Amino acid sequence: MPARAERHPLELRPSSAPAVQHLLHGSPAQPPPAKLVVFGATGDLAAEGAVRDALIGLAEKGERGGLEPARHPVVLLGRKPMPFEEHFEQLAAGRGGARASDEQLEKLRALVAASERQDGELRRIDFAAAPEALSKQLNALVGEGSVVAYAALPPSTFDETMKALKAAGVDRPKSAGAFRRLMLEKPFGESREHAHALASYIRGSFAPGQVLLVDHFLPMLNDILAMRTNPVMDAALSSRHVQAVHVFMDETIGSNDRPYFRSTGLLLDVVQNHLMMVLATATAELPPAERLTADALRRARAEVLENITVDGSTARKGQFEGFNDAEQGAPVDAKTGKVKPSDAETFVAFELAVNTARWKGVRFSIEAAKAAAEDQWGVEVDLKLTAELARLTGASEGARATLRGLIHPQHEISLRLADGRELELPVDRRAQGTSPYERLFRDALKGDAAMFNALEEPLASWDNVVAPVQKALAKQPLVKYPRGSAPSLRSR
């Protein structure tokens, strides 16, 4: 990666239209009274720092746009017996993050107090129970008022969870004016067929907007979305000026200690969802700012995904050396005392075309890697300066430049010019260090779908990206690479 040049501001601000500002920041109103129920609280996902940090952040905000224990009790549910204090200590310690402060833990404890049973155990639901007993458990848990249920579960359990909730009738509130909503985590489905079956069940069993599809990258992409609403930048982003677009997600962690990742690999874990959202947000054909509603944004993202053609000849996969070594974190089976080998890819790359009028003829590349040299998530666009960008930057019209949008390890948008100058576009510093799940939980309670996927988005991703890439990768070898030196279709 080139040495970082001295940066200068480029004051190209997003649209101030109320519709855009609502999308970027959400409603400042306090969420209505409701219970937040977290299924899978003892699993990998709910234990991750992002969810814990979101609950802490919402507890700290309290009546100032957060959650209040008396109005928004949070119920953490496990599937296996565990003392509540043991689970709370795991939350306090954080997984891969810093331990929460005593003040934060006091507020978090008040928010999740309903998670502790009278016997000191963490509350849990036995989905293996007889239907009548399961219905009784679920109804006792949710009560009669408003509820948002967050399924921090693998997609293999979605059918069971949704059907149990539906059979118990807990999707229908018992009191007037109350609501029931279900948040489903990514990825949506275990396969293309499973995703379509899930979508069919949701459409036939739940009211529109009642099931919210989670991809926590969406709130993280708001700076890129904001940049797109500036007319100067939006005009530059088309095949008339752009030569290539590169979407990437490099992580230094190996994830070979995660059972779920070992069974899926990078394509399903991050490409099917996260990287397709980066691509769709950066390339969507947005309506005028005053008409940029949540539904319009979701339709625009879906249109991109519905018009993708993958070049299967470019697909590559790899796995870092030591992925299956216990010494490098691979889990050892308690019965055999050995690691069960996995062929999960920790590197995946391919090229595609977006066959819309705006992007026809532009080359797109997608890459994701674990055990990479550094952490970088984002998008790069190779372009030629428009007349307006040339005037604003003091460069020549048609001069080459690289537009770079990073969402991790920090949020930044920059324009690197051919003469070595680097210009920094505005980003929302309020989003720095804030868990995206804060926005997702708050919006789910308010019924605001802007930061959630429409069903059409993951279905198009499965149909037009994942399925053809899977077919292409089946013919490719799993290339081994040392930690810190993942292969690449493009030098960054």
pLDDT tens sequence across 53-101: 899 999 999 999 899 999 999 999 987 889 999 989 888 887 666 788 9
Whole-structure pTM value: 0.94
Q: What is the pLDDT of residue 232?
A: 96
Give the Cα separation of 382 and 402 in Å (integer): 5
Q: What is the pLDDT of residue 309?
A: 98
Q: What is the pLDDT of residue 464?
A: 98
Q: How many CA atoms lie within 13 A of 335 on its CB side?
A: 1
Give the Cα separation of 164 and 236 in Å (integer): 49
Q: What is the pLDDT of residue 129?
A: 84
Kindly state the tokens that stand for 171.
């999707």
Exposed/middle/buried for residue 352 (C-beta within 10 Å: 0-12, 13-18, 19+): buried
Q: What is the pLDDT of residue 85?
A: 93
Read off the DSSP letter of residue 326.
Answer: G
Q: Smallest Cα–Cα separation from 75: which of 125, 24, 25?
A: 125
Residue segments in the chain with a per-residue pLDDT below the cut of 50: 1, 492
CATH 2.30.33.40 correct for 217-435+454-481: no
Residues of the chain with CATH 3.40.50.720: 31-213
Q: What is the pLDDT of residue 492?
A: 43
Give the Cα separation of 36 and 72 in Å (integer): 7
Q: What is the pLDDT of residue 1?
A: 47
Residues of the chain with CATH 3.30.360.10: 217-435+454-481
The CATH homologous superfamily of the domain defined by 31-213: NAD(P)-binding Rossmann-like Domain (3.40.50.720)
Q: How many CA atoms lie within 13 A of 179 on its CB side?
A: 18
Rounded to 10°, the helix 436-446/49-61 angle is 60
Task: Give yes or no for a contact between 46 and 86, defined as CB atoms under 8 angstroms apart.
Answer: no
